[in-house]
Amino acid sequence: MDLFSSSNAALSSSPLSEILRPKNLDEIIGQDKTLGPKSKLGQMLRKGYLPSLIIWGPPGTGKTTFALALSQHFNAHFENINAVDAGAKVLREVGEKGRDRRLQFQQKTVLFVDEIHRFNKAQQDVLLPFVEKGDLVLVGATTENPSYELNRALLSRCRVVVFERLSEEDLSKIVLRAESHYKKPLERILTKEAINNLLEYSDGDARRLINSLEILYNFTKDQEDGERLDVNDMRELLQQNPLGYDKSSEMHYDLISAFIKSVRGSDPDAAVYYLARMIDGGEDPIFIARRLIILASEDIGNADPRAISVAVSGLQAVEAIGLPEGAITLAQVTTYLACCPKSNASYMALNNARALVEKTRTQPVPLHLRSAKTALAKDLGYGRDYRYPHNYPTGWVEQNYLPEELETEPLYEPTNRGFEKNIRDYLNWMKGQKPEK
């Protein structure tokens, strides 16, 4: 199962991704902060020490390439598996062989696991003792947040390394390598506008760029000098891929988080941008509409009491018409909520009340507030001395509503923003009234 050994196949028969793949750490593009000679991990690796690592980053950022480069750098036995294909039995066999190798030959075994987030808890538990005892040095690659996908025990024994998406400058370096291989500048087969569009289209993904370059160079290898593809030609040839998005992945959580925080931060431009990302990525519009309803109460509340009605109406409209037209409704609700005055006073009042309940437990309800629907309740004094506010000129009368033993600061403190300022003024007015007799 030693899949890291060099292939003797001719380069001409290999895909461009294999031909351009870096052979050592110094050739890896775009991860200088993490792997460069000045980084702590880079220095550690170059000194010959390899800890167990979890490599986390978007597709096409060099996670597998990094593992392959390690195989050329360390005097260790390398094993390569994909979590989709490997079960607990395979993991146990690899671990036991690693233990034998360590005890008999004092040789380390490095296990590279691609898509490690696909391992279930039981499979991760199989790896744990082998990693803990040093039988295996684990190098796992994942596009998902390890905090969500890997159990704490395994995660605590590994160092998490974050790979960033590649910049256009990084992608341009890959273009130079492809030009060197094909011995033809890219500007001879694409217009300048098409080259810029190609880099944007690659979206920080080296694999996508390299696959595109391979198609472009092969398609144009027989074309005459001076004949170049424009943006439309290139798009037709490559076929535009859908936006990277997975409703069960970390991107789902990141985008909805950025969306909600943009609405809360009163930035309609950013909010509608993230809305477009989610809709074009295939997110459930009902999920988005429900989150907007939550936000209308949590972050706007009584600063604009209409916000909850707008959000609920938005959900009803999306349920009625669906996509694509429902996206217009979501945009309307999003921009309205983003432009509303903000207050979380109602939300904080609930939190304050819950904390008070947790602290004071079940305090008795004052007698004058209790239900007096039965003769026994009346005999016990339930409802007696209750003062009906509507019987007083201002529609308000001073009386105690909280349990008698409860002394507390105000739980609801309205802000001076939006309609909530009116509420605050009304509460202050009541406090200034003389008690009615």
Residue ranges of alpha helices (H) inside 183-325 are 192-202, 206-219, 231-238, 250-264, 268-281, 285-295, 306-321
128 CB burial (10 A radius; 0-12, 13-18, 19+): middle
Q: What pLDDT shows up at residue 274?
A: 95
Q: What pLDDT shows up at residue 2?
A: 43
Which pTM was predicted? 0.66
Determine phi and psi for 87, rounding to 5 degrees: -100, -175
Supply 423's token pair: 């509420």
Q: Are 314 and 347 in contact (CB under 8 A)?
A: no
Helix (H) or strand (E) holding 159: strand 159-162
d(Cα 7, Cα 68) in Å, to the nearest integer? 13
Helix (H) or strand (E) holding 69: helix 63-73
Q: How many CB atoms lie within 10 A of CB 293?
A: 19
Phi-psi region of 23 (alpha: psi -120 to 50; beta: other; left: phi over 0): alpha
Mean pLDDT by 10 residues, the chain (437 residues): 41 80 90 90 91 91 90 86 89 94 92 92 92 93 87 90 92 94 92 90 90 92 80 84 58 88 96 94 90 96 96 95 92 97 95 89 87 88 90 86 82 92 89 67
Map residue 433 onto helix, strand or coil.
coil
Q: What pLDDT shows up at residue 187?
A: 92
Strands 109-114 and 77-82, by their bridges, are parallel
Determine phi and psi for 139, rounding to 5 degrees: -125, 105
Cβ contacts of 68 within 8 Å, gap of 6 or more? 4, 21
Find the length of the chain: 437
> In degrees, to the nearest 5, what angle opens at C-alpha 35 toward C-alphas 30 and 37?
110
Map residue 82 onto helix, strand or coil.
strand
DSSP tag of 380: T
d(Cα 328, Cα 356) in Å, to the nearest integer? 43
The DSSP secondary structure of 179-213, one letter per residue, reads HHHHTS-GGGTB-HHHHHHHHHHHTT-HHHHHHHH
d(Cα 288, Cα 284) in Å, to the nearest integer? 7
Q: What pLDDT shows up at residue 247?
A: 55
Q: What pLDDT shows up at residue 10?
A: 44
Which candidate, 34, 16, 35, 17, places its Cα nearest to that of 25? Answer: 35
